[in-house]
Structure 1
Amino acid sequence: MIPVLHTEHLTMRAPRWDDFEAYAAFRGSDRAKLLGGPFTRAQAFNQLAEIIGHWTLRGYGRWMVADHKTDEPLGIVGLYYPEDWPEPEIAWSVFENAEGRGVAYEAALAARDYAYNTLGWTTAISLIEPANERSVALGRRMGCTDGETYQHETLGLMHIWRHPSPEDLA
């Protein structure tokens, strides 16, 4: 049910059990602070299961991003719309081994293309915690504009970065 996407350097695929150690390490680290963490291994397991379940409930979701040559897990990127979100989002989180390699950018572009050209979305946002400088820079690089905010009940104030529409990208 989860489609596989291929980019120049990446494979975007369904999460698997052998991805769990990398995922749990990320969710348990200080890198997850801006996402509400760090989290326990049990919480990370539930979160990974949620990623898979999102596909069933919404018909889209986030992919495990892996190196296309080695299949090493590099992060989670894709389409996200939980019940307490203002709009569907293009979301990204990369693991430490992928930082600074352009992985989030390449995968987020593929996810946006899928949202617009396969699902027919006409708009998309990315919710970014203002202190997350790398995500702010990625939002800018993707052509997003900042100007709206959203107050999440547990994550606090987040900025809404609006992606260019399909027409603006054409």
Structure 2
Amino acid sequence: MTRRPFLMPLPQGEALRQALVAVIPRLETERLILRAPELADWETLEPIWRTDRSAFIGGPFDEEEAWLDFANAVSGWLLRGVGYWTVARKSDGAVLGLFGLGIETTDPELELGWLLVAEAEGAGYALEAAAAVRAYAFDTLGLPSLISMIHRKNTRSIALAKRLGAVEDEGAVPAIYRDTDTAYRHTAPTSNRRNTDAIPTGQNDHD
């Protein structure tokens, strides 16, 4: 494989990297661990962006576009205190996807998003991981609601959103995406809504 310098760790920065990783919440479910992303994860995650698996989020992407989208997702931890986790299987540590919370330049509010490697489909991992992220958003952060922006033809993600109990919310879709995407709203139980101004909301002016 061609050596790619941008994937090489920097020994001089390792202590700070470890300190940052230590403060990112670690979530566990029956079968999964949601942990801080690492450079080594990219070898497994990259095909999500570089193949037709990314067709519903604007792909396939070239190497630079793929890396920048990944970097954007994980940078939320530093910039906002929330971000995306690498999802790994407990039994063998295999990387299964990237799930988390983020907001892109055209998103009207915080989004629950997910990306799963092809080999992980059909085992219920997506539901398990997404439910863990949502529970963290509602129970730990106290957020009142989240959206998931989904391409209208992405039947798998729409089915997942519905299984999570999310309800379609066309009003949350930015105008530039109304022809292609819809939004599903996840709403916290009333007893959990203690921090209603914790997420940015705005006029509907994406994943």
Paired residue for 1:158?
181
Once the two structures are TM-superposed, the CA of residue 52 in structure 1 deviates from its matched residue by: 2.3
- Counterparts of 1:159 and 1:58, CA distance in 2: 25
Instruction: Map 1:90-169 onto structure 2 (within 5 A).
Output: 90-149=112-171, 150-151=173-174, 153=176, 157-167=180-190
Between Structure 1 and Structure 2, how many residues are aligned? Answer: 169
What TM-score does the superposition give when structure 2 sets the normalisation length? Answer: 0.76
Whichever residue aligns with residue 110 of structure 1, its letter is: A
User: Does the 8 Å CA contact 2:109/2:146 hold for their aligned counterparts?
Assistant: yes
Once the two structures are TM-superposed, the CA of residue 152 in structure 1 deviates from its matched residue by: 5.9
For the pair shown, the structure with the greater C-alpha radius of gyration is 2
- Counterparts of 1:41 and 1:152, CA distance in 2: 29
- Counterparts of 1:92 and 1:155, CA distance in 2: 20
Whichever residue aligns with residue 157 of structure 1, its letter is: T
Whichever residue aligns with residue 162 of structure 2, its letter is: R
- Cα deviation per residue 1:13-59 (whole Å; 9 max; x = unaligned)? 11111111111111101010001110122222222222221111111
- Counterparts of 2:58 and 2:149, CA distance in 1: 13
Once the two structures are TM-superposed, the CA of residue 168 in structure 1 deviates from its matched residue by: 8.1
1:3 lines up with 2:25 in the alignment: yes
Unaligned runs of 5+ in 1: none
- Cα deviation per residue 1:53-82 (whole Å; 9 max; x = unaligned)? 111111101111111121111011111112
Richer in strand (by share)? 1
SS in 2 for 1:163: strand
- Counterparts of 1:148 and 1:139, CA distance in 2: 14
- Counterparts of 2:28 and 2:170, CA distance in 1: 32
1:73 lines up with 2:111 in the alignment: no
Aligned with residue 60 of structure 2, among 38, 44, 57: 38
Whichever residue aligns with residue 134 of structure 1, its letter is: R
More deviation in 126-135 or 37-46?
37-46
Query: Which stretches of structure 1, 4 residues or longer, exceed 3 Å deviation after superposition?
Result: 151-157
SS in 1 for 2:184: strand
- Counterparts of 1:152 and 1:98, CA distance in 2: 33
Q: CA RMSD in A?
A: 1.9
Identical positions, percent = 38
Unaligned runs of 5+ in 2: 1-22, 193-207
